[in-house]
Amino acid sequence: MLSELYGQQGISLMGVSKAVLGEPLIAEAMIRGGVKFIADSRLENIQRMRNARISAQFVLLRTAPSQAESIIENVDISLNTELDTLEKLNYYAAGQNKIHQIILMVEMGDLREGIMPDDIFLFIKKVLDLPQLKIIGLGCNLACYGGIKPDEQKMRQLSALSDAVEKKFPIHLSLISGGNSANYEWYQSTKNVGRINNLRLGESILLGCETVQGRTIPKLHTNAFKLIAEVIESKVKPCLPFGKIGRDAFGNIPVLRSTYPKSNGNRHRRAIVALGKQDTLVSGLSPNQDLEILGASSDHLLLDCKNSYLKVGAGVNFNLNYGSLLTAMTSPLIKKQFIQ
Ligand SMILES: *Cc1c(COP(=O)(O)O)cnc(C)c1O
């Protein structure tokens, strides 16, 4: 759906696989869905997919100089902002007799990665002295650290910068990568995408939403992932801890309130499921039934059962947001099962 939607205005997609730790089956599904590239921030994830014989153009979103040699071996295109790193890439590319393709990231205000726009001309001039590197495009990343929206103004600025670079240097920028899952609103509202012809999408593909408002993209599923945890205790207990308050397992002093009226004796049915902060970002979980997450320690998640009775041994289903998905997929202790 996303390939078709963005394809209508000539925008190709990079399927971003970092939230699923480069899981090869998911990368394959993205490729079947029409993404042109598979992008990941971790070289290790790209190696995992290559070892699983995924055939795609691999893009590295985060480039570290210490990995330069392996990047040249395993990656087709890398995103870059530092000359020292590019010199290393150039060195190893020469050794391996390769031309390595790069996209230069431009700082557009979010203050994560990027070369300041004023510096880009001098930067490119220096990159052109590195014969094993080929600049194939510019990119920017917004709505990640600073929460800055990718809007019409930012996208026009990136387009204009691309034109200016091509005017000044004898290079063609074939890939102008305007952003990530936060670019949906801009895309829906713009009359002219300008030079933007690529987006790098993780969350939209995996969880079906855009990320500025957190809204579902029409016709996409938001529950492709489900985390199931086993009930290990189910009892009627007081709504509030009793005894003298000290600190919890993470060193905080708990402030707990009960939403129950005194009339039910301040007791309720609560359950523990075998899941905790070591497994996933608990704040990003939402139970699929009418239960309330009361809190969690490293290995125990506490639920207010409300009107349900949870039997010991039963499974409780949770939906996951991006942070929960990312952490759960990264945990070796969570079993991954693929349906279809
Ligand atoms: C993670 C990442 C993306 C994907 O972001 P989503 O919000 O999941 O679409 C895109 N670009 C870069 C540079 C990233 O690090």
Ligand 1 midpoint to CA 238 (Å): 44
Report which DSSP code applies to 57: E
Share of the chain above pLDDT 70, in %: 99
263 pLDDT above the threshold of 60: no
- Strand 100-105 versus strand 133-139 pairing type: parallel
Ligand 1 midpoint to CA 241 (Å): 42
Q: Ligand 1: which of 60, 138, 180, 206 to mutate, most ligand atoms within 8 Å of CB?
A: 180
Ligand 1 atom nearest the C-alpha of 18 is 1
Residue 262: band (very low, low, confident or very high) from pLDDT cuts 50, 70, 90: low
Decide whether any atom of ligand 1 lies within 6 Å of the 321 Cβ: no
69 pLDDT above the threshold of 90: yes
**What order do you get walking across the sheet with 301-304 strand by strand?**
285-287, 315-320, 227-238, 267-273, 301-304, 292-296
Decide whether any atom of ligand 1 lies within 6 Å of the 200 Cβ: yes
Ligand 1 atom nearest the C-alpha of 204 is 9
267 pLDDT above the threshold of 70: yes
Decide whether any atom of ligand 1 lies within 6 Å of the 41 Cβ: yes
Q: Please tell me the pTM assigned to this model.
A: 0.94
Decide whether any atom of ligand 1 lies within 6 Å of the 211 Cβ: yes
